[in-house]
Amino acid sequence: MQDTQGTSDSPEFKRLWWHSRRGMLELDVLLIPFLEEAYLGLDAEDQERYRKLLTCEDTDMFEWFMQRSRPDDADLQRIVDIILTRVQPD
């Protein structure tokens, strides 16, 4: 079975890229670089969490990334934390 997510040239990766483009610039500047630079290095579970994140509403994601609220779902909180840690290293 061929891995369809293993490279940035795969149709699945390209689909994720388009789904990572959101209606808010603030989300685009977080999600697109994360996808391009970090997504392929994630384990399969975290890649699935990222795909799950993309199904969320922009307004919810904006609140989470601005740290005004937290997702109720632990999987979503994990991927939000991974993305925030990447852009706000200690």
Is residue 6 one of the residues assigned to a domain?
Answer: no
Is residue 53 one of the residues assigned to a domain?
Answer: yes
pTM value? 0.88
Count the neighbouring beta carbons within 10 Å of the beta carbon of residue 84: 15
Q: Residue 82 maps to which CATH number?
A: 1.10.150.250
Is residue 33 one of the residues assigned to a domain?
Answer: yes
4 has a pLDDT exceeding 50: no
Is residue 4 one of the residues assigned to a domain?
Answer: no
Is residue 3 one of the residues assigned to a domain?
Answer: no
pLDDT in the model for residue 90: 60
pLDDT digits (tens, 9 = 90+) for 29-43: 999 999 999 999 999
Is residue 5 one of the residues assigned to a domain?
Answer: no
The count of domains in the chain is 1
Q: Mark out the alpha helices in 21-73 (DSSP H runs).
A: 25-37, 44-53, 58-65
Give residue 37's domain range. 11-87
User: Considering only CA atoms, which of 53, 52, 55, 47 is closest in space to residue 5?
Assistant: 47
